């Protein structure tokens, strides 16, 4: 079984997942470009950009849009995934 992990769509969230990836193998869960644009975030993206190996297009989209999307902005989709 593969660990699935996610974090907020902000630079800190990408750093968290990168750090996790240094310790264990994981698969990003709902951390793609489509998921990012599916969120209703309204907060300004702040901080220093971070480029994880698995998130090339995502980082480009975040840098261009300059909006942070937090987990609570995606809660309905996350709950659907967990409601088997």
Over the stretch 22-55, which tens digit does the pLDDT of each residue have? 999 999 999 999 999 998 888 999 999 999 988 8
Neighbours of 37 (CB within 10 A): 14
> Above 80 in pLDDT, residue 71?
yes
Q: Which two tokens stand for residue 32?
A: 């793609």
Question: Residue 45's closest CA among 72, 65, 18, 19?
Answer: 65
Q: Is 58 exposed, middle or buried (0-12, 13-18, 19+ CB in 10 A)?
A: buried
């Amino acid at each position: 079984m593969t660990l699935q992990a996610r974090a907020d769509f902000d630079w800190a969230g990408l750093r968290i997942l990168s750090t996790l990836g240094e310790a264990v193998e994981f698969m990003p869960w709902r951390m793609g470009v489509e998921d990012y644009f599916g969120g209703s975030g309204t907060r300004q993206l702040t901080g220093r950009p971070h480029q994880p190996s698995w998130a090339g297009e995502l980082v480009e989209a975040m840098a261009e849009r300059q909006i942070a999307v937090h987990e609570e902005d995606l809660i309905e989709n996350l709950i659907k995934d967990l409601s088997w």
